[in-house]
Amino acid sequence: MSVSTQRCDGTPIIRAEQLAVRYHRRTVLDVDHFDLCDGETHVVLGPSGSGKSTLLRILGLLERPASGRILLDGEEVEAGDKKARMMMAAVFQNPYLFKGTVEENVAYGLALRRVSKAERAERVARALDRVGLGGIERSSALRLSGGEAQRVALARALVLEPRILLLDEPLSYLDPLIKRRLVADFSEILSAEGVTALYVTHDQDEAMVVADRVSIMHEGRVVRTGGVDEVMSLPTDAWVADFIGMDAALRGTITGSEEGIAEIAIGGELVYAATPLPPGIEVLVGIRPEDVMLFEASHELPASSARNHLLMRVEAIERRGSTDRISLASSGLRLAAAVSRAAVRELGLEAGSTVAALFKATSVRVQAAASVPGGV
């Protein structure tokens, strides 16, 4: 399994080419290429209306595209191909449990596959155990809490032991506390099962927990695909950068390298990054805001393992949930820091003030510029 490149190493389970979907003559999906690799959890991330759920329904053979083709294990398949669809199972945003008991719900797909009653009961019990709901077989499916219902929906899909699991915003209806717990559980279950999963969400935190690879969608197109670290730390265009809350990736050149730490010249500054890339090549560099620590510029800096110390000017302060986002600039280098509100007050940060920004060489993501198609 390859999780850091644009395409899979071997034959992808699903490969889609030149997909287009139009509703009322409006193009809602226009994807040149999409691979789902064997064993990966591939998150399709994007704002609402970006076409990610449509992509899931097309790849899940639940809907027919206007044009394009889908290959399953290298063979072309059509929407509605029953044999191909039997390899997949889906969990949607709303759990859509059927009237009846939890057991009847989880056993639904098994009954369709003519699995014997005895085996059904055994597999249902096992699936419910796996999602942490053992023993509720006889309860009404429609009287469960939101979190329980979504776990049952996951069990209903997992019990089929699908090769491909399709998850369409499975947690977005839940309140934050339950969601946090379930994200962790889902992530654990997905990796333990070794199932290949296509996971659609608009939530970046969720994506970063569950994903091996991420594709970002915008206005019906896949604008970025790659390993989760690379995609979430190295935005290659202004839109992606804005979407993931970073500044666009910086462009620099490796000027030296020692013990796995490269010295990268960006504008008039030098940044140190842990990367095996050799000197002389042009790279894209990304630093996630939560990895940047700020200190008062005039004070002595604390002893720290952070290799990078830069004096930077505060350009803007933007309120974002629990933290503030501080836009920083120095000669030719721009980055952002996520800082608690208390720290903003303590440091007396305001537009125009100067601060010391610290970040570790290991938190700097670096990629050869030539390897990113349509880079900055």
Partner 1 sequence: MDIIFNAVEEAVRLLAAGEVGVWGIIALSLRVSGISILIAMGIGIPLGYLIGSRRFVGRRFVQVVVNTGMGLPPVVAGLVVYMFLSRSGPVAEVWVNLANALSPGGAPHPEPRMLFTVGAMLVAQVLISTPLVTGVTAAAIGSVPIELRLQARSLGASAWQEAVLTVKEARRGVMAAVVAGFGGIISEVGAVMIVGGNIEGSTRVMTTAIVLETRKGNYGLALALGFILIGIAFVINNGLTWLQQSGSRYER
Residue that is written with structure tokens 């014997």 in the block: 116
Which helix (H) or strand (E) segment holds residue 366: the answer is strand 364-368
Q: Which of 127, 128, 166, 339 binds partner 1 (CB under 8 A)?
A: 166
How many other C-beta atoms are found inside a 10 Å radius of the C-beta of residue 152?
Answer: 25
Residue 271 makes contact with partner 1 by CB under 8 A: no
Residue 58 makes contact with partner 1 by CB under 8 A: no
Contact 131, 189 (CB under 8 A): yes
Q: Which stretch binds partner 1 (CB under 8 A): 5-13, 92-100, 262-270, 367-375?
A: 92-100
Complex with partner 1: residue 86 or 125, whichever CB lies closer: 86
Residue 140 makes contact with partner 1 by CB under 8 A: yes
Which helix (H) or strand (E) segment holds residue 117: the answer is helix 117-130
Residue 92 makes contact with partner 1 by CB under 8 A: yes
Residue 142 makes contact with partner 1 by CB under 8 A: yes
Residue 57 makes contact with partner 1 by CB under 8 A: yes
357: nearest Cα among 271, 265, 264, 295: 295
Q: The dihedral of CA 40, 46, 48, 54: what is its sign?
A: negative
Site for partner 1 in 98-137 (CB under 8 A): 98-101, 108-109, 112-113
As measured in angstroms, the least distance from the Cβ of 181 to partner 1 is 23
* Interaction pattern, residues 60-79, with partner 1; x per rule: CB under 8 A: x-x-----------------
Burial letters for 73-106: b for 16+ Cβ neighbours within 10 Å, e otherwise? eeeebeeeeeebbebbbbbbbebebeeebbbbbb
As measured in angstroms, the least distance from the Cβ of 166 to partner 1 is 7
Site for partner 1 in 296-355 (CB under 8 A): none
Complex with partner 1: residue 103 or 324, whichever CB lies closer: 103
Q: Which of 32, 64, 67, 96 binds partner 1 (CB under 8 A)?
A: 96
Residue 292 makes contact with partner 1 by CB under 8 A: no
Amino acid at position 160, single letter:
L
As measured in angstroms, the least distance from the Cβ of 15 to partner 1 is 20
How many residues belong to the site for partner 1 (CB under 8 A)?
A: 28
Amino acid at position 318, single letter:
E
Q: Which stretch binds partner 1 (CB under 8 A): 67-75, 89-97, 250-258, 335-343?
A: 89-97
C-alpha span between 168 and 160 (Å, rounded): 18
Residue 85 makes contact with partner 1 by CB under 8 A: yes
C-alpha span between 245 and 289 (Å, rounded): 8
SS (H, E, C) 39-86: CCEEEEECCCCCCHHHHHHHHCCCCCCCEEEEEECCEEECCCCHHHHC
- Residues at the interface with partner 1 (CB under 8 A): 57, 60, 62, 82, 85-86, 88-90, 92, 94, 96, 98-101, 108-109, 112-113, 140-143, 156-157, 160, 166
